[in-house]
Amino acid sequence: MGLMRTITGPSDLKRLSAHQVDLLAQEIRDYLIDSVSRTGGHLGPNLGVVELTIALHRVFDSPRDTLLFDTGHIGYVHKLLTGRHDFSGLRKEGGLSGYPSRSESDHDVIENSHASTSLSWAIGIASGRKLRGETDRHTVAVIGDGALTGGMAWEALNNIAEQRDLPLVIVINDNERSYAATRGGMADYLASLRATPEYENVLSWGKRQLHRTPVVGRQVYETLHGMKKGLKDIVSPQGMFEDLGLKYLGPVDGHDVEAMETALRRAHDFGGVVLVHAITEKGHGYDPATADEADRFHAVGKINPETGLPLELSGRSWTDEASDELVRLARERDDIVALTASMLIPVGLQPFAERFPDRVFDVGIAEQHAVTMAAGLSYAGLHPVVCVYATFLNRAFDQLLMDCALHRQGVTLMLDRAGVTGTDGASHNGMWDLRLLALVPGVRVAAPRDAEQVARALREAVAVEDGPTVLRFPKGTVAAPIEAVRTFGEVDVLRDLPADPQSPDDRFDLLLVGLGPMAATALEVADKLWAEGRRVMVVDPRWVLPVSPDLVDLARGARAVAVVEDGLTGGIADRVAQALDEAGLDVPVHAYGLPHSFLAHGSREQVLERVGLTAGSVATSLAAHLV
């Protein structure tokens, strides 16, 4: 940390010579490899923006000029250049966030990691400052890692094209990838812009002919010069951006600080909206991250920095279980297709894509489009399975409600990373889905408690053809199997009451409902309450929406009901209370879930402890209620 130690803020960068800048870039790259290999985090994306971020801070004056990073996982270099040098606690409780964080620095603005938002933020900030007379402050949006495949970015560009006098710079961080290779028309278009500007070579040939045969050569050269724009659009067709009225600069080598500074300085001085097209390489400077398996370096756990191999081997994940079952189902049924929003590998669809390449659709970072496209696939006679993180369902709620549920289309949503995900922080916790899904008429929602139940629930979900079904499961290693002691209709009884023939009509103290992975927590709670003399039955309804009549019937024998869920408190508990009320049962329902607040990063266990969603806390609370 020789040079880097001297960089306490962006102003320190401006005094460095070109040679020192190159040394700093290598120092930062070495530091990222060393530190992120110890903590885990987004390694590949940040290695790809080292020089780009240095150039940004040398040209612009943050925080007076606002730098916006889309998506925020490319913010590590920005953190280092704004004085945050201690990465030892990265993504850990009390340490640095893995994304920009306003609580950490005035240089950070967009905290969430939901892609394709930066251009809307940018025009909002720039327009607001114009109205306040602050036209000498620039707004810079860095958008890459596939974020231009998101429809929201194009909605913003459409609006930006009408306000071209704003001091707004858009930097396309074009590395051809999101998690994996970026796909679609926009990706193809950017690829065409990366072409060598061969039209200049053609003009050079014309000039040579001019000297050799002046008359013919002059005609050739003038003709070619007149065709220059057409040739340029064919070989390097940035015309789409220019046709929108946006000044286009590039393509520029994003790993050449001097070239980037030159382009950014021109953009800074232009006096209106400018788009700078930077070509970068994800994982640049680190051989393992640019090799054939580069996709796994998008986000890493603890790794050996020399080899790039993981130091901690985890067991089977919830994603693995769902992935394997989906492939099995697709072998049995040729109508099953799969969709994802630029997350083929993270949601476990790679094996499906390898086995059935024509039956998988990666639509880019476009969850809204994915869900409505699924409705169309369903109408065409197929059964689509949409695989996304639970936190990204938020973006497609209207499409689930109006395109799938209203039209009763047989679409299955597979929500990965449901509940507390922990280290990725507030925007990635999949804690909103149950509350949102409870608003959708006719939706069926399953929350499996272990691997066997994942396979069982997915198989049942794709059998439904008259409306949407949802399967949700958490991040990480799959839970140990929990066998039901018996079934009551659709409900699995996990802890039963001992037979007591002397008091068959006596109501027991508590019906404890554990949803998904919280079934294990519910069993621990029951053990604690039984030790205090409470008679507790533990059940897993498996299908949590709609509320099963069998669950209502079980509640008839209880003095109270408690629901433990890893979503917002009351997401399912409120529906259980409503079902009991509609059945004429006067039974109190105690709800235990996540608070209605944004949860700071930490491990899953730390977050659950912090919010009181542990067996000890729930048992203590229930003991006080069951008096």
Q: Of 29, 58, 177, 395, which residue is the catalytic one? A: 395
Report how far apart, in Å, the C-alpha atoms of 609 and of each of 255, 413, 570, 573, 616 are: 44, 29, 19, 21, 10
Q: Are 4 and 85 in contact (CB under 8 A)?
A: yes
146 annotated as a binding-site residue: yes
d(CA 527, CA 533): 10
d(CA 557, CA 538): 13
Is 155 annotated as catalytic? no
Strands 543-545 and 444-446: antiparallel
180 annotated as a binding-site residue: no
d(CA 334, CA 330): 6
389 annotated as a binding-site residue: no
Residue 466 main-chain phi, psi, to 5 deg: -115, 25
- Partners of 389 in the beta sheet? 416
Which two tokens mark 97?
A: 């966030």
CA dihedral sign of residues 103, 106, 111, 113: negative
> Measured in Å, how far apart are the chain's first and last C-alpha atoms?
61
Residue 40, classified by CB atoms within 10 Å of its CB into exposed (0-12), middle (13-18) or buried (19+), is: buried
Among candidate residues 179, 151, 176, 113, the one with its CA nearest the CA of residue 342 = 179
d(CA 304, CA 13): 31
Report how far apart, in Å, the C-alpha atoms of 520 and of each of 390, 409, 538, 541, 608 are: 21, 34, 10, 14, 14
Query: b vs e for 565-590, b when ≥16 Cβ sit within 10 Å of the residue's Cβ?
Result: bbbbbbbbbbbbbebbeeeebebebb
Peptide bond before 251: cis, by omega within 30 degrees of 0?
Answer: yes
73 annotated as a binding-site residue: yes
Is 395 annotated as catalytic? yes
Q: Of 51, 321, 325, 367, which residue is the catalytic one? A: 367
CA angle 543, 548, 551 (to 5 degrees): 110
CA dihedral sign of residues 320, 453, 512, 468: positive
| Residues 339, 342, 348, 354, Cα dihedral to 10° | 70
Q: Of 247, 282, 435, 575, which residue is the catalytic one? A: 282
114 annotated as a binding-site residue: yes
DSSP track, 571-604 = TTHHHHHHHHHHTT----EEEEEE-SSPPPPS-H
- Partners of 67 in the beta sheet? 140
Task: Please count the residues of the chain.
Answer: 627
138 annotated as a binding-site residue: no
286 annotated as a binding-site residue: yes
CA dihedral sign of residues 384, 385, 388, 389: positive
Is 367 annotated as catalytic? yes
Binding residues for thiamine diphosphate: 73, 113-115, 146-147, 175, 286, 367
Q: Which residues does the annotation place in the binding site? A: 73, 113-115, 145-147, 175, 286, 367
Among all residues, which ones are annotated catalytic? 282, 367, 395
Binding-site members for Mg(2+) are 145, 175
